[in-house]
Each structure stands twice: as structure tokens, then as C-alpha cells.
Amino acid sequence: MHRFLGRLHEAFDELSTDTMWALTPRELGECLEEVFAGQARMAALALGLVAQADRSDLPTHDAQPTMVSWLRDRVRLAPTEGKRLVRLARALEDYRVTRGALAAGSFPVASAAVIARALDALPAGVDPDVRAEAEEYLAGEAHAHDTHALRRLADHLDEVIDPDGADARRAAQLARAEAKAAREAFLTLRHDEATAVTEGSFRIPLVSGVKLGRMLESLTNPGRPDPIAIDDPTTGVRLSAEERRGHALVELVDRFPVGKLPKLGRSDPTLVVTMSLATLMGGLAAAELDTGQVISPGQARRLAARAGVIPAVLGTDDEVLDLGRRARFHNRPQRLAMLLQQKGTCAVQDCTRPAAGGDGAHLVAWSEGGPTDLANSALLCPRHHTLADHPDYAVTRLRPGRIRINRRC
């Protein structure tokens, strides 16, 4: 084994890629097939060596705690990839047919991983002969299907092993998977001011994902009266399907009617843009969102043109910001003004919780004669609102938009 690998490296040293241009299409195709088969055979060899190294405790010999750490230290393999490799090497020890087919270069290592994962997922009580038949079936299908198609076949392995009970098991498995998907749905957003981009990742239940896909399909439909451009208007380059779906998602967000959303702090969800009058009239100073990010003056003017402008200049006749004792609750313009003063966060000093959904609080309680005006008001997160109303705590106004809450002596 050691001599073979040494000769292999010698052969690689003699190989030159400078003459690839001389290959005919037929020779090029044959070379590609051979190199991918060789890649699978080398993967089988590597997995066998990893399994033997793990079994013989090579990591301890080289002062490493685990095989994964040995792979990271000696061959610079990332821990995630190392774990995957060690797990597959251990699994293939039990699956002779799959291991042999991979060693023959019959299918890629990714397909071997699909087979091992599907067989490992079978119930512990499955008869060994049935497990062997399942491996024969999947290995045979791996010769004819790519990894993606093989994964779909592996998902329905139950139907091959026990056709009579497959429907009931499949229904139960789907119900568990759907309940798990509903529990584990998430979405993360990352805003990058430097590149003016928001990116993120999400996971939602299958049906919701299909619904989202269908909504985006309707917006990318070239037959609509105002279709999303197929070519980039600046470069003329054809947009990919992924790029057009991205444009469709932007349009979906812009199209969704605010009135259909639940209230956020007694108001419709609202994005507040602050800019100077000079910027509004064509100046070059950046505008600021209530979340703290800045946007270009052109973008701010476009938003103003689409949505109209709510002046943030106190004393304007367009909005009543000081209601005195005439009303108990803060109205929408007051909440917007407080949101601006507080730069999008809870009014308590050093609290970073968002103010958009916060509670409109009176610094001097309404019951004690405090007016419903900006000087006596703040948007507080629920926790700080609870403390502000508690008799054991005192509220001190530091400056417009910022307060401090301390326990009374």
C-alpha cells in the first residue's frame, strides 16, 4: 500500500496538463470518466485507511485526541468535513457491497454516503438479510442514478423492504417531520451597511416553502404586464433564475399591503427615514433609518416619493404631536417621533432592544397627572416598562430619547 501510493505520486509528478488541448472530444470524455472513477477509487482507499487508523488508534500515537483532530492537523481537513469522513469510514465497514462498488469506481463517494445514511436509518430490528437486500438495491440504483435521484429513492426505502406497511410508516414519518419543521423554523437577517445588502438564511416547513416559491414564480412570470427584466438593464447580461427570484422577493416585500399585517406597538409596521430638508430637495447627505443604518440620498428620495413624507419637524401643522391631557394613549405620529429620538432602541440608557414594538410609557404616570406628550413619553421594551411602573424604581430623564431607571434608596 505504501509503495503504491509512492508510485502514484511519482506518476503525478510526471503528468503534465499543458497538452490537454491536444485531446480529441472522445479522448477528453474518456479522460473525464476515468478521472472521476479514479477519484471514487481513491476515496474508497482513503476511507479504508481512515477506518484502519481510527481502529488502530493512530491519533494517540501522534498525540492527537481524536481522528478528526488528526485529520485537521495532518491534512488540514476542516472539523466538519473530518467528522463526515470518519463517520462514513466507520459506516462502510459494515456495508461490503457499497464499499466494493466505490472501490471499483462505480459511483461517487457522495452516493456511497447516501446509501450508508439510509441503511443506518433503518430500525434496529430489521432482519440482517433484509438489510443486505436493501444495500444491494441501493447500490444497484447508484449505478444508474445520480446522487440526488438516489437520495429520493433512499427516502422511500421502506416501500421496497415492506410494501404492505410502508404507507402507515410513511404517514407517521411525514407527520413527525412536519411537526419538527414547524418547531424548528427560523430566519436570520444580516444587514451590511457598507455594501447596502441584507442577506440571511432561513428554514421553513415544506408547504410554506412551496407557497413562497409559487408566489415568486408569479412575480417572475414574463407574461405579466410589467415583467421583471430578463436581462440586466445596465450590462445587458442575461439574469440567472436565482437572480430573478431575488428581484421577485424584493418586489414581494414592496407589494405586501401593510394593512394586512398585525399592529406593532399600536401602529402599522413602519420604516422611518430621517433626512434633512436639503437632502429631500436634492442634496448629497446620507439619510438614516430608524434602525441606525444609513442609505443614499437617492434611495431616501425614492422612498419619500413612493410613500409620501411625514415631517419630523416638531410644530408642523400636518401632525399633532402634543395631546396634553386629551388622550391616554400615544398616537402614531408621537410613536414615530419617539422612535426617531431614541434611534430605534428602547429609551433606557444602554438597552439595545428594538423600540418599534415597544410600549409607549409616561415618565410621570398618567394617573398622577402626567401628560401624553413627547417630553413626558418614551418607548420602552416590556421589561423596562415593568420596572418604570414599579414603585421601587425611579425614572430619570437624561436627554430627549434617553432615560435611566434606578432602584429608590
- 49-63 confidence digits (pLDDT tens): 999 999 999 999 989
Are 71 and 190 in the same domain? no
Q: Domain boundary at 256, 271, 302, which?
A: 256
Are 10 and 158 in the same domain? yes
Are 197 and 234 in the same domain? yes
Other C-beta atoms closer than 10 Å to the C-beta of 406 total 10
| DSSP structure string for 250-285 | HHHHHHS-GGGSPPBTTB-----EE--HHHHTT--P
The per-residue pLDDT for range 259-284, each reduced to its tens digit, is 787 877 667 777 888 888 787 777 88
Q: Is the pLDDT of residue 309 over 60?
A: no
For 172, the grid coordinates are 407517521
Are 199 and 174 in the same domain? no
Q: Domain tally for the chain?
A: 3
Q: Residue 366 gets which letter from DSSP?
A: G
Q: Is residue 325 part of a domain?
A: no
**Percent of the chain scoring above 90 in pLDDT:** 43
Are 217 and 171 in the same domain? no
Q: Is residue 174 part of a domain?
A: yes
- Among 27-36, 337-346, 352-361, whose mean pLDDT is lowest? 352-361
Residue whose C-alpha cell is 457491497:
97
Q: Is residue 339 part of a domain?
A: yes
| Residue among 44, 145, 23 at smallest CA distance from 101 | 44
| Residue among 273, 337, 267 at smallest CA distance from 302 | 273
The per-residue pLDDT for range 90-111, each reduced to its tens digit, is 999 999 999 999 999 999 999 9
Q: Is residue 280 part of a domain?
A: no
Find the mean pLDDT for residues 295-301.
Answer: 81
- Model confidence band, residue 305 (pLDDT cutoffs 50, 70, 90): low
**How far is residue 335 from each of residues 192, 307, 320, 363, 372, measured CA to CA in Å?**
27, 18, 12, 15, 11
Are 152 and 193 in the same domain? no
Find the mean pLDDT for residues 8-28.
Answer: 91
- Model confidence band, residue 322 (pLDDT cutoffs 50, 70, 90): very low
Give 99's contacts (C-beta < 8 A, 6+ positions apart).
44, 47, 48, 92, 93, 112
Q: Residue 126 gets which letter from DSSP?
A: S
Measured distance CA(205)–CA(183) in Å, rounded: 9
Other C-beta atoms closer than 10 Å to the C-beta of 182 total 12
Is residue 337 within 8 A of residue 374, CB to CB? The reply is yes
- Among 118-122, 219-223, 299-303, 399-403, whose mean pLDDT is lowest? 299-303
Measured distance CA(401)–CA(125) in Å, rounded: 65
Mean pLDDT across the chain: 85
- Model confidence band, residue 203 (pLDDT cutoffs 50, 70, 90): very high
Q: Domain boundary at 256, 281, 310, which?
A: 256
Are 198 and 172 in the same domain? no
Are 70 and 24 in the same domain? yes
Q: Dihedrals φ, ψ of 171, to 5°? A: -65, -45
Q: Is residue 283 part of a domain?
A: no
Q: Domain boundary at 130, 149, 178, which?
A: 178
Are 44 and 155 in the same domain? yes
Indicate the residue type of 251.
E
Three state DSSP letters for 178-221: HHHHHHCCEEEEEEECCCCEEEEEEECCHHHHHHHHHHHHHHHC
Are 53 and 159 in the same domain? yes
Are 144 and 214 in the same domain? no
| Residue among 85, 83, 80 at smallest CA distance from 110 | 85
Measured distance CA(203)–CA(187) in Å, rounded: 7
Measured distance CA(395)–CA(267) in Å, rounded: 25
Measured distance CA(246)–CA(234) in Å, rounded: 17
Is residue 360 within 8 A of residue 328, CB to CB? The reply is no
Measured distance CA(2)–CA(52) in Å, rounded: 14
pTM score, two decimals?
A: 0.54
Q: Is residue 298 part of a domain?
A: no
Domain, as residue range, for 156: 2-178
- Model confidence band, residue 327 (pLDDT cutoffs 50, 70, 90): low
For 40, the grid coordinates are 471514487
Q: Is residue 344 part of a domain?
A: yes
Strands 393-399 and 402-407: antiparallel
Residue 288, classed as helix, strand or coil, is: strand
Are 73 and 198 in the same domain? no
Q: Is residue 261 part of a domain?
A: no
For residue 316, the model assigns a pLDDT of 44
